[in-house]
């Protein structure tokens, strides 16, 4: 299944999930942290980027509003993952989706694409920029809740 809808099996069917984006600095770490926030260690959760980047302070600020600390997190490239099979891989950018489908490195029972905006393209005041990150966080949160039927 490769649509943008988060509909999937019940949470009990998902024991491992990978969130994949371009640089593992905004969307995939947010999704990983939100999933861990809700499910702790009951679902093996990882995130990676097709490439890596440097941490983004707006991510820290948006997640701190939810009581989630990402301050010491280091971006991870796909090739550095400890595991290579996941029940579900959720891709958050077109590039990541293509890599997930074509990769011989990782595999999954289901690969989903959740179109996620890139908040770094928003210009304006600090508050306007932070609002873009909040929007990405909140949309990911909604998709995660729908995916796990919570």
pLDDT in 10s for each residue of the chain, 150 residues:
444 444 445 556 899 999 999 999 999 999 999 999 999 999 999 999 999 888 899 999 999 999 999 878 889 999 899 889 999 999 999 999 999 999 888 889 899 999 999 999 999 999 999 999 999 999 999 999 999 987
Q: What is the DSSP letter of 17?
A: E
For the chain, domains (ranges, CATH) are 11-144 (3.40.50.2300)
CB proximity list for 38: less than 8 A, separation 6 or greater: 144, 145, 148, 150
The pLDDT assigned to 67 comes to 95
The pLDDT assigned to 1 comes to 40
Instruction: Compute how many other C-beta atoms are within 10 angstroms of the C-beta atom of residue 92.
Output: 28
SS3 51: coil
């Amino acid at each position: 299944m490769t649509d943008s809808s988060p509909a999937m099996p019940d949470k009990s069917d998902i024991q491992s999930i990978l969130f994949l984006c371009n640089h593992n600095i905004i969307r995939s770490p947010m999704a990983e942290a939100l999933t861990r926030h809700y499910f702790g260690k009951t679902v093996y959760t990882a995130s990676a980027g097709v490439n890596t980047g440097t941490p983004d302070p707006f991510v820290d600020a948006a997640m701190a509003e939810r009581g989630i600390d990402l301050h010491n997190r280091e971006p991870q490239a796909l090739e550095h993952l400890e595991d290579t099979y996941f029940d579900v891989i959720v891709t958050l950018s077109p590039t990541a989706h293509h890599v997930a489908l074509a990769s011989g490195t990782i595999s999954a029972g289901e690969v989903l694409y959740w179109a996620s905006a890139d908040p770094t393209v928003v210009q304006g005041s600090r508050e306007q920029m932070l609002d873009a990150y909040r929007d990405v966080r909140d949309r990911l949160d909604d998709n995660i809740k729908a995916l796990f039927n919570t």
